[in-house]
Structure 1
């Protein structure tokens, strides 16, 4: 069983290992992966046999849940071998995001002292004055539209897909091999998924995008909408969202995000118990950045921006 280490005992240990238990294969996570892929195959195969209003919501949930599984893969699950994990979790059911690029960016995001800094943190929702000034009017309009939660869900999937293609274009021009290697795995994987979807299951491309991939991505973006905030304290930048069973399961308990950043190696299914044990400590550590669930998030921020667009320290 893993133990909670005092700060002084962590000095020689990588941050990403905090909370990790000993395993070669983490069977709960591997079982989850099998369940997600089996569900995906079953739901897509049932496209012509069940009403769309059953198939598409189920497909949306599976695609979003798979995004949460990919997040666990970046942290060394379900096995101790990164290449094996990439093969298991890296299939792009939502089509747009190369897993290896995501893994690289996400691990950089876990340098907590850089959290929310838009010049360093690749997952920051903020911008610097320089970044804003360099944007075209259309790009600025899109970033403004994505500030409310519903805007993020509606425009976010296409925005991030376009940004991914921009990164690919830049990598081709500049010879960035790491990005190109990620796309070299991503494109054949997309082709295999689309072969199953379009040829075997007979789902039109537009139906898969609008009924599965796009809303699945939109649902996944709810989690990252409120994960972090700009704050003078490093530990006060990460949220605790006390969500109900549906959202907690969909996000594999990353709604308890301060637990994840404090112990990034902790398995997803151990987060609720860890939070219950450490709740007073973690609440104080997060500078009381606590939300009572995603319903409240929708009520307050569906049409209103939660944060300023420019990072406060860049103004």
Structure 2
């Protein structure tokens, strides 16, 4: 066995990764460039010609491009399509989804990739778990809302609202306590939002409609992807799911449904994740202890109105080192 990052790989797997990384397609990052061009071009063009398309068709198309853009931002954070982080950041600064400053998302997500701390509520900024003490301190009505959020329908309807509320509370805290780095990110974000408002005005498209009918549904769709994406488990490699989703979902989420592979090899470009998984499915499934789902419809069937037990973290059984 050969170790690469947090995961042990067979030598033959290392050979496959080396071969793929030397290919022209892998090195050129052409698939990522094509997605970036398509998303930006599609988003701005749809707004420019929404009257020709009609409000409802244009809204549906914009939801798709906005959700896709969130996947693009994730790819930019992980060093694609160039090896220059500042240039990648420029490609993801525009707040096409309205809410999240790219820098804040980047910092929180990279902290989330400290695999040995994954799901721990005090360490993982993207964890849905609470410490046992925090969970028991919550009033009953808040626990009820969390249980509702942990259903599939709740993740669609109220999870984006809870995230937005938490985000805005963080913004107020940043300005109140003069957190310079966060303030700078917010000021850049607000300035770019002002430019987008000018584009909305030029296109005669309602910003309020965009927030309610485009941005919010796009955020809700991303919650489909992250539904039970991580679980508390003693073995860090067993905490991330492998979701054998259908092609439309894989393209929209840029293969993040293969989440265990992504966490094991976060530097692999999105179009390499499925290739690696299909070459050695049994090994990947063994590595993450069989945390496997056969598409998002399985989560829908199992947890439409039933809550996933993602509340108090069972931290006594989790290694912290």
**TM-score exceeds 0.5:** yes
Q: CA deviation at 1:166?
A: 0.7
Matched, 1:118 2:121: yes
1:193-240: CA deviation from partner (whole Å, max 9, x where unpaired)? 22212x111111221112211101110111111211111111110100
Change (3 A) 1:211 1:312: same
Whether the aligned pair in 2 keeps the contact of 1:43 and 1:55 (CA below 8 Å) is yes
Partner residue in 1 for 2:263: 261
Partner residue in 1 for 2:68: 65
Matches within 5 A, 1:145-294: 145-197=148-200, 199-294=201-296
For 2:52, what is the secondary structure of its paired residue?
Answer: coil
1:129-186: CA deviation from partner (whole Å, max 9, x where unpaired)? 3333555666544423211121111112221111111111111122222211221221
Aligned counterparts of 1:314 and 1:139: Cα–Cα separation in 2: 24
For 2:158, what is the secondary structure of its paired residue?
Answer: helix
Q: CA deviation at 1:314?
A: 6.3
Change (3 A) 1:158 1:6: same
Partner residue in 2 for 1:15: none
For 2:80, what is the secondary structure of its paired residue?
Answer: coil
Whether the aligned pair in 1 keeps the contact of 2:131 and 2:312 (CA below 8 Å) is yes
2:298 to 283, 292, 296: 296
Partner residue in 2 for 1:308: 310
Whether the aligned pair in 2 keeps the contact of 1:24 and 1:80 (CA below 8 Å) is no
For 2:226, what is the secondary structure of its paired residue?
Answer: helix
Matched, 1:6 2:8: no
2:79 to 64, 76, 80: 76
1:41 to 16, 40, 44: 44
Aligned counterparts of 2:54 and 2:208: Cα–Cα separation in 1: 17
Partner residue in 1 for 2:9: none
Partner residue in 2 for 1:30: 33
Q: CA deviation at 1:291?
A: 0.2
Aligned counterparts of 1:138 and 1:187: Cα–Cα separation in 2: 34
Q: Which runs of 5+ in 2 are unaligned?
A: 7-13
1:1-34: CA deviation from partner (whole Å, max 9, x where unpaired)? xxxx920x659xxxxxx96947886332122111
The farther-off stretch of 114-123 and 127-136 is 127-136
For 2:51, what is the secondary structure of its paired residue?
Answer: coil
Aligned counterparts of 1:6 and 1:189: Cα–Cα separation in 2: 45
Aligned counterparts of 1:49 and 1:63: Cα–Cα separation in 2: 20
Q: Which runs of 5+ in 1 are unaligned?
A: 12-17
Aligned counterparts of 1:248 and 1:26: Cα–Cα separation in 2: 18
